[in-house]
Amino acid sequence: METAHLHTIQQYFLTGKTRSYQFRKEQLTKLKVVIQENETAILQALHSDLGKSAEEAYVSELGFIYAELSHTIKQLDKWMKPKRVGSPLFLFPSQSTITRDPLGVTLLVAPWNYPFHLLIAPLIGVIAGGNCAVLKPSEFSSHTANIIKKIISENFDSEYLFVVTGDGAKVIPAMMNNFRFDHVFFTGSTMVGKEIAKMAAPNLTPVTLELGGKSPCIVDKDVNIKVAAQRIAFGKFTNAGQTCVAPDYLLVHESRKSELLDSLQQSVTKMYSPDPRTSPDYGKIINEQRFDTLAAFLAQGEIVTGGKTSKSDLYIAPTIMEKVREDQPLMQEEIFGPILPVFTFSQPEEAMAMVGRYPNPLALYVFTSNSATEGFFTRNVAFGGGCINNTIIHLANVNLPFGGVGNSGLGQYHGRFSFETFTRPKSILKTATWLDLAAKYPPFKGKLPLLKFFMK
């Protein structure tokens, strides 16, 4: 992408056209309409890239976007209104207001695992905030990237929204090193996120980093094992495990391990049939490179169930493993695939110690009917978000902020939190002129008691 066009986008923003409520609402409404008009093509692209069924793609990608758009369109007027706040007595007669100001030209960088959802969701916040955007879909999910580029280029001014395709390792530095974006929103690995932050630092460009990590799933002894197994299997094996908030490893109370493993196998069979390779509801691995990495993990422990692979089909069966050493790559990296290592504990402190060896997970899942156990983990683990007695579905609530902590991310979005991410608070204090107390001005000699009174 030529730097000249980035400056053209910047000039478009400076015209002020994107700032009005009417313009923002029109663009959000148009985005919803054009997505609906291209829904079939989007679903086909997601199937081509990741083997997603229409139903899974709708629920995990389009459904989220429709809900987010509807919520934002409905609430935008309220979010944009200036907020009156109090003013201390010594500033009388003044009124204080906070408004939310657009940031300017933003860069959105999306991953390949939910390639539509994770690019369009932050775009909703960009539009709601009154900004312009450069969108960079992942080159690894090329079919989805192409349909996104088609939708945006055919329906929005290129000086307002512009899609850049190509090798991210080349395209992104070429832009960030030659132009100062007003905000960069990146979703992907922690390693790449750190590189994005480095490129942003020289220009003091603010960043939102939605990263990953090893998200634990803890199963206490006081649970409904069948329900827990079904919800864990769903959270882990949706999108063939290629979900940033999927349970990365399982910690189960030693007294329930055997029962849980049996129930997990039954749940996998129920969801994806005895041969998941033939199931329309079970996806594929994104590419051969990722397949090779995941396949190598299968030798790093004992396979309880699954383990079958087919490189030609980019297929790895839903797999549960045990007797995995913590020093193996399987436990040193975010798995990001359909492999679930299982460990046991006897006391909550044991589970907590293991979680502490993989700090700052993006998500935490705790299955328990004991409120003390629930509180022990939610208070003592620093995590982005999570569920009690469920997995991954906290993403579906637009009223909850989504984001990580530490190595799993920086910043939040969804719903109003997206609007706030792509705007900044602007403070305004307005003072009336009908009163101007002399006590506020020099000379101050003899006024100390009065100043103390007003400023106490």
Q: Is the dihedral of CA 205, 16, 153, 68 positive or negative?
A: positive
pLDDT tier, 456 (very low <50, low <70, confident <90, very high otherwise): confident
Letter string b/e over residues 370-387, b meaning 16 or more CB atoms within 10 A of that residue's CB: eeebbebbeeebebbbbb
- Mean pLDDT of all residues in 131-159: 98
* Percent share of the chain, pLDDT over 90: 94
Q: State the number of CA atoms in the 13 A half-sphere of 275 facing the CB.
A: 3
The DSSP string of 340-390 is: EEEEEESSHHHHHHHHHTS-S-SEEEEE-S-HHHHHHHHHHS--SEEEESS
Closest CA to 50 of 114, 128, 123: 114
- Looking at every residue in the chain, the average pLDDT score rounds to 96
- Mean pLDDT of all residues in 414-420: 97
What confidence score (pLDDT) does residue 268 get?
Answer: 97
> pLDDT, tens digit, for every residue of 84-107?
999 998 899 999 999 999 999 999
What confidence score (pLDDT) does residue 452 get?
Answer: 85
Q: Where are the domains of the chain?
A: 3-211+409-428, 216-396
Q: What angle do CA 171, 172, 178 make, to 5 degrees?
A: 95
Helix or strand (DSSP H, E) at 451: helix 448-455
Number of neighbours of residue 202 by Cβ within 10 angstroms: 10
The answer to whether residue 61 is catalytic is no
What confidence score (pLDDT) does residue 437 get?
Answer: 85
Task: Phi first, then psi: give them for residue 89, nearest 5 degrees.
Answer: -60, -35
List the CATH code of the domain at 3-211+409-428.
Answer: 3.40.605.10
- In angstroms, rounded to a whole number, what is the distance separating the alpha carbons of residues 240 and 281? 10
Q: Do domains 3-211+409-428 and 216-396 have the same CATH topology?
A: no
**Among 244, 334, 387, 420, the one annotated catalytic:** 244
What confidence score (pLDDT) does residue 2 get?
Answer: 74
What confidence score (pLDDT) does residue 90 get?
Answer: 87
What confidence score (pLDDT) does residue 355 get?
Answer: 97
10-14, 113-117, 212-216, 444-448: which range is least confident on average?
444-448
pLDDT tier, 79 (very low <50, low <70, confident <90, very high otherwise): very high
- In angstroms, rounded to a whole number, what is the distance separating the alpha carbons of residues 435 and 451? 17
Q: Is the predicted pLDDT of residue 186 greater than 80, yes or no? A: yes
- Mean pLDDT of all residues in 40-67: 96
What's the start-to-end Cα distance of the chain, in Å? 57
- Mean pLDDT of all residues in 342-351: 96
- Mean pLDDT of all residues in 180-209: 97
- In angstroms, rounded to a whole number, what is the distance separating the alpha carbons of residues 216 and 248? 6
pLDDT tier, 148 (very low <50, low <70, confident <90, very high otherwise): very high
Name 349's Cβ contacts closer than 8 Å, sequence gap at least 6: none
Omega within 30 of 0 (cis) for the link into 348: no
List the CATH code of the domain at 216-396.
Answer: 3.40.309.10
- Mean pLDDT of all residues in 160-166: 97
Closest CA to 196 of 359, 5, 410, 417: 410
Q: Is the predicted pLDDT of residue 54 greater than 80, yes or no? A: yes
Closest CA to 224 of 270, 269, 266, 259: 259
- In angstroms, rounded to a whole number, what is the distance separating the alpha carbons of residues 182 and 103? 6
pLDDT tier, 27 (very low <50, low <70, confident <90, very high otherwise): very high
> pLDDT, tens digit, for every residue of 354-386?
999 999 999 999 999 999 999 999 999 999 999
Alpha helices in 219-366 (DSSP H): 225-237, 257-272, 288-297, 329-332, 348-356
The answer to whether residue 217 is catalytic is no
Q: Is the predicted pLDDT of residue 450 greater than 90, yes or no? A: no
Alpha helices in 92-167 (DSSP H): 117-128, 142-155
- In angstroms, rounded to a whole number, what is the distance separating the alpha carbons of residues 199 and 205? 9
Omega within 30 of 0 (cis) for the link into 341: no
What confidence score (pLDDT) does residue 1 get?
Answer: 62
**Among 56, 61, 210, 420, the one annotated catalytic:** 210
Name 448's Cβ contacts closer than 8 Å, sequence gap at least 6: none
Name 372's Cβ contacts closer than 8 Å, sequence gap at least 6: none
Q: Are 256 and 219 in contact (CB under 8 A)?
A: yes
Q: Are 242 and 366 in contact (CB under 8 A)?
A: no
> pLDDT, tens digit, for every residue of 395-408?
999 999 999 999 99
Which region, left, alpha or beta, applies to residue 269 given φ > 0 means left and ψ of -120 to 50 means alpha? alpha
pLDDT tier, 439 (very low <50, low <70, confident <90, very high otherwise): confident
Number of neighbours of residue 214 by Cβ within 10 angstroms: 23
Helix or strand (DSSP H, E) at 195: helix 190-200
